[in-house]
Amino acid sequence: MNSTNEVKIDTTPIPGLLVVTLPVHGDARGWFKENWQRAKMTALGLPDFGPVQNNMSFNASRGATRGIHTEPWDKFVSVAFGRVFAAWVDMREGDSFRQTFSIEIGPETAVFVPRGVGNSYQALEDNTVYSYLVNDHWQPGPAYPALNLADPTAAIPWPIPLDSDEVEISEKDRNNPLLGDVTPMKPKKTLIIGAKGQLGRALAVVFPEAEQVDLDELDISSAAAVEAWPWSDYEVVLNAAAFTAVDLAETPEGRATSWAANAVAPALLARAATEHRLTLVHVSSDYVFDGTAASHTEDERLSPLGVYGQSKAAGDIAVATTPRHYILRTSWVIGEGKNFVRTMQTLAGNGVSPSVVSDQIGRLTFASTLADAIRHLVTSGAEFGTYNVTNDGEPMSWREIAAEVFALLGRDRDDVIGVSTEEYFAGPLAEGKPVSPRPLQSTLDLSKIKAIGFQPDDQLGALRAYLGQ
């Protein structure tokens, strides 16, 4: 038995399959080991896979052989008594399909088995007790890929030949298919929520394999609808849905809608993400700040001015409670559909000289840039948490951006008239129309997202490309 005091983790030829060497402490009475020690093992690189069920399999006689089973959950396998020869076959769709690995396991060894890797073992001693933690509850009904123990392609070197009189195999396992007849297990899916919006459409481009839903298909503000959704089929959830009518949010009806979409819905998604170990990506806003800082960092205290900002801040707090989360704070989003740049483009083409606020400062965020940043976070293994994402470049006012649009379309920059926020909204306020307070400084610090290898394009270059210049 291993008498070392240190846990050790080794990789194998199968991606994600990890061998764990466990300290076993023995004396005349027997032995003791920490079979699963979350803090130590995750610090060494074992996934924090969240086990929810512990199963034990008693094998009365040497030669009992089980497998090859490919359930859709992660396992942490070990031996409580005796020894086994254990073997795995990668049954996942991809380049590693068919890859095998085998090892003898006693109390001093455990193996982390990722979802989609077929698991099997053969008892080498009488009265062997095989133990495994899993991170999903077994349910009757669904069929999962299985592989014949004698498959010639896998060619597992069973120490006790399968045709030996010592070997006991269930009839079901004897009839499992050969590898050529197995359909590889597909990876868990990515889900885009709010697929019809500006960001949702941009996400569909960079996540072409993702499933797309809109609120008519999944009402994420409904606890019953969220509870009924088959979250176990997914690995990543991209929440691009939001209520962004900031002025309407100041009305009684809009206030309720804003809170439902921007606070209740993210809270329900966060709860589902925690329960099903999902990575949840949520998009926030510069409106969670009051705009008094020249540049907003990710750790600035929340200080929203209006209902929209308050509901978005509440959503941020809720999403931050689930362990695997990315919150992307952004500003001034421009994508496909109705937006500020398209409005200025239309006005320029129609010969209009608009009045545009000149005291709100920030940067544009093109939906394609935001989608690329999300892809980078999800695929790069970046630390979970909050990240600011906008396009790069010198911060500008809305008036300066409008003037740039006009210049690109052949109009004079001076055709755009600068006014203060107070002047701009004086008319609507006098008429009793709802107006949300705006943060005057919306510039988001980009140091953190750049530090993990994502470099946003300059906003003026992106603007030229957007307008086809």
Q: What is the pLDDT of residues 187-246, one digit of tens each?
A: 999 999 999 999 999 999 999 999 999 989 999 999 999 999 999 899 999 999 999 999
381/368: higher pLDDT: 368
Provide the pLDDT confidence category of residue 305 given band limits of 50, 70 and 90.
very high
Provide the pLDDT confidence category of residue 32 given band limits of 50, 70 and 90.
very high
List all residues 6 or more positions away from 215 whose beta carbon is below 8 Å from its beta carbon.
193, 194, 241
List all residues 6 or more positions away from 62 whose beta carbon is below 8 Å from its beta carbon.
123, 124, 125, 126, 128, 160, 166
Compute φ and ψ for 284, nearest 5 degrees.
-110, -160
The CATH topology of domain 8-181 is: Jelly Rolls (2.60.120)
Instruction: Give the Cα separation of 130 and 78 in Å (integer).
Output: 6
- Structure token pair of residue 119: 């698991």
Instruction: Give the Cα separation of 124 and 85 in Å (integer).
Output: 7
421 has a pLDDT exceeding 60: yes
The dotted CATH code for 189-466 is: 3.40.50.720
Instruction: Give the Cα separation of 213 and 8 in Å (integer).
Output: 43
Nearest CA to 145 out of 86, 217, 97, 84 is that of: 97
272 has a pLDDT exceeding 90: yes
Cα dihedral 71→73→78→80 (10° resolution): -80
pTM: 0.87
Cα dihedral across residues 40, 46, 52, 53: positive or negative? negative
Provide the pLDDT confidence category of residue 453 given band limits of 50, 70 and 90.
very high
CA 122 to each of CA 67, 69, 397: distance values in angstroms, whole numbers, following the listed order = 9, 13, 70
**What's the mean per-residue pLDDT of the chain?**
95
* Residues assigned a catalytic role: 69, 132
2 has a pLDDT exceeding 60: no
pLDDT tens digits along 204-216 = 999 999 999 998 9
352 has a pLDDT exceeding 90: yes
Provide the pLDDT confidence category of residue 3 given band limits of 50, 70 and 90.
low
- Structure token pair of residue 307: 């209902």
Every domain of the chain with CATH number 2.60.120.10 lies at: 8-181
Residue pair 121/86 in contact by the 8 Å Cβ criterion: yes
121 has a pLDDT exceeding 70: yes
Supply the pLDDT for residue 4: 59
- Structure token pair of residue 160: 């006790």
Mean pLDDT of 366-384: 97
Residue found by looking up tokens 């090859």 in the block: 68
Every domain of the chain with CATH number 3.40.50.720 lies at: 189-466
